[in-house]
Structure 1
Amino acid sequence: MNSSYNENFAKLFLRLFVGILFLLHGYAKLKYGTSFIESVLEKNNLPQYLVYGVYIGEVIAPIFLIIGYYTKTFSLIIIINILFAIYLVHPSEIFSLSSHGGLALELQYFYIFTSLLIILIGPGKFSLDEK
């Protein structure tokens, strides 16, 4: 196997990994609703229609990431989604440590930096973006 082939498979696996894991967050919103997010928006005096951004960021964006279509755009949308979540729900935990010694928001940082990595390295040949 050549290096280019391995590199493209690595990009595919990264997209699948991030997309599937983040889609599970969206699935929870579809199954259980968005009442928590609606209450957070209300508490922060933000319009309720912003709740639809959760569906874009946690359902549509991961699906497009998985299939590799407009990959960089939807990776950016995932990053924006997470930054909003941090701002609205976790602002006091940005540099906090958990009781286990890791960062309290390490999962959020994981999604931010892996999505940023996808933006930087591109989707790879096994995507709809690559023709």
Structure 2
Amino acid sequence: MKLMTSKYAEPSVSIALLLLRVVAGSSMLMNHGLKKLSNFNAILSKGFADPFHIGTKASLSLTIFAEVFCAGLLIIGLLTRLASLPLIIAMVVALFFAHGGQLFGEGESAGLFLTMFIVIFLMGPGKFSLDKKIGK
């Protein structure tokens, strides 16, 4: 691998996508999803954002689904593009609804996650994924 070339090699892209999927998915799962899951009632009692007017319990449940289940799918590379969509929606809501669009302030983390999930959606899982193994 030549470090000073502008050309890219397919194995490098697939390794980069693997790293991106694993880091983004595990960070979301461990730092956000599991905390929300284990503190479900406490978060509900404090109040949770309800941007789609479906109720705070349903909004929190859908967020947990995205941050736990979909993040887990990203880590293993199964249904990768489909799994990234709920995460993209959750991060758009977090950035623009919960943090007022402050990309360079409180919403920085949501903005970074949003960017990572959009890249995963656009690029796909790479060859080191279950999607590739089962031919999806």
Unpaired runs of 5+ residues, structure 1, are 97-101
Q: Which residue of 2 aligns with 1:29?
A: 36
Change (3 A) 1:35 1:6: same
The letter of the residue matching 2:48 is V
RCO higher in structure (CA 8 A, sep ≥6):
1
Q: Does 1:19 align with 2:30?
A: no
Q: Which residue of 1 aligns with 2:117?
A: 115
Change (3 A) 1:9 1:30: same
Task: Compute the displacement of 1:5 (Å).
Answer: 1.5
Task: Compute the displacement of 1:8 (Å).
Answer: 0.9
* TM-score, normalisation: structure 1: 0.80
1:31-70 Cα deviation digits (max 9, x unpaired): 2225335623479854232321022111001000001011
Aligned residue runs from structure 1 range 10-89, under 5 A: 10-24=16-30, 25-37=32-44, 39-41=47-49, 46-47=54-55, 48-89=57-98
Give the 4+ runs in structure 1 shifted more than 6 A: none
Number of residue-to-residue matches in the alignment: 124
Which range moved further: 45-54 or 70-79?
A: 45-54
Unpaired runs of 5+ residues, structure 2, are 2-7
Conserved 8 A contact 1:78-1:115: yes
Identity %: 28
Q: Which residue of 2 aligns with 1:6?
A: 12
1:79-99 Cα deviation digits (max 9, x unpaired): 1112223354223xx137xxx
* CA distance in structure 2 between the aligned counterparts of 1:67 and 1:36, rounded to whole angstroms: 29
- Equivalent in 118, 123, 126 of residue 124 of structure 1: 126
The letter of the residue matching 2:130 is L
* CA distance in structure 2 between the aligned counterparts of 1:14 and 1:72, rounded to whole angstroms: 13
CA RMSD of aligned residues (A): 2.5
